Chains A and B, each alone.
Chain A
Amino acid sequence: MNNLVDLDAHASPALATPRRANRAYLLPLIVFAIFALVPLSVLWGSQSFILALVTRIMILALAAMSLDLLIGYGAMISFGHAAYVGLGAYSVAILASHGITDGFIQLAVALSVSLIFAFFTGAISLRTKGVYFIMITLAFGQMLFFLGTSLAAYGGDDGLTLASRSMFFGSKFMKNDVAMYYVAFGVLLGAYLLLRAIVASRFGRVLRGIRENPVRMEAIGFAPYRYQLTAYVIAGMIAGVSGFLLANQTEFVSPAYTAWQRSGDLIFVLVLGGLGSLHGAIIGAAVFSLLADILSHYTENWALIFGPILILVVLYARGGITGLFGSKS
Chain B
Amino acid sequence: MTLTLALVQILNGLQFGLILFLIAAGLTLVFGVMDFINLAHGVQYMVGAYLVAAFTAMTGSFVAGLALALPAALIFGLVLEVLIFRHLYDRDHLDQVLATFGVIIFLNQAVKYVWGAAPLNVAIPDALSGAIEITDGMLYPVWRLVIIAVGLAVGLALYLVVNKTKLGMLVRAGASNAAMVSALGVNIRLLFTIVFGVGAMLAGFAGAMVAPILSVEPGMGDNVLILAFVVIVIGGIGSIRGAFIAALLIGLVDTLGRFFAPTLLKLLLDPSAASQTGRAIAPMLIYILMAAVLFFRPSGLFPSKQ
Contact surface of A with B, Cβ cutoff 8 Å: 71, 77, 79, 121, 124, 127-132, 134-136, 138-140, 142-143, 146-147, 149-153, 260-261, 264, 267-268, 271, 301, 303-304, 306-311, 313-315, 318
Contacts and interface: CB of A to CB of B under 8 A. Distances in A.
Contact of A264 (B101, B230, B298): B101
A304 B109 contact: yes
A79 B230 CA distance: 13
A311 B287 contact: no
A107 to B, nearest CB: 25
A311 B102 contact: yes
Interface on chain A toward B: helix, strand, loop, or mixed SS?
helix
A140 B284 CA distance: 9
B89 to A, nearest CB: 12
A152 B94 CA distance: 36
B230 A139 contact: yes
Interface of B: 31, 35, 37, 39, 84, 87-88, 91, 93-95, 97-99, 101-110, 112-113, 222, 226, 229-230, 233, 237, 276, 279-280, 282-284, 287-288, 290-291, 294-295, 298-300
A311 to B, nearest CB: 4
B53 to A, nearest CB: 21
A132 B294 contact: yes
A64 to B, nearest CB: 13
Given A130-B93, A131-B37, A132-B298, A151 B106 contact: no
A268 B108 contact: no
Contacts of A152: 276, 279
B279 A139 contact: no
Nearest to A315: B87
* Interface SS of chain B: helix
Given A127-B294, A131-B237, A134-B97, A303 B287 contact: no
Contacts of A71: 94
Given A124-B291, A139-B226, A139-B287, 12 more contacts: A127-B295, A130-B93, A139-B230, A147-B280, A149-B283, A267-B101, A268-B102, A271-B98, A303-B105, A303-B106, A303-B108, A315-B87
14 contacts: A128-B299, A132-B294, A135-B230, A136-B290, A139-B226, A140-B291, A143-B287, A267-B98, A268-B98, A268-B101, A311-B84, A313-B98, A314-B88, A314-B91
Contact of A143 (B102, B113, B284): B284
A79 B226 CA distance: 11
A307 B37 contact: no
A139 B94 contact: no
A77 B97 contact: yes
Contact of A311 (B99, B276, B280, B288): B99
A142 B222 CA distance: 11
Closest 7 pairs between A and B when the two form their complex, measured CB to CB? A307-B106, A310-B102, A146-B283, A303-B109, A307-B105, A143-B287, A311-B102
Nearest to B106: A307
B106 A308 contact: yes
Contact of A271 (B94, B110, B288): B94
A307 B113 CA distance: 14
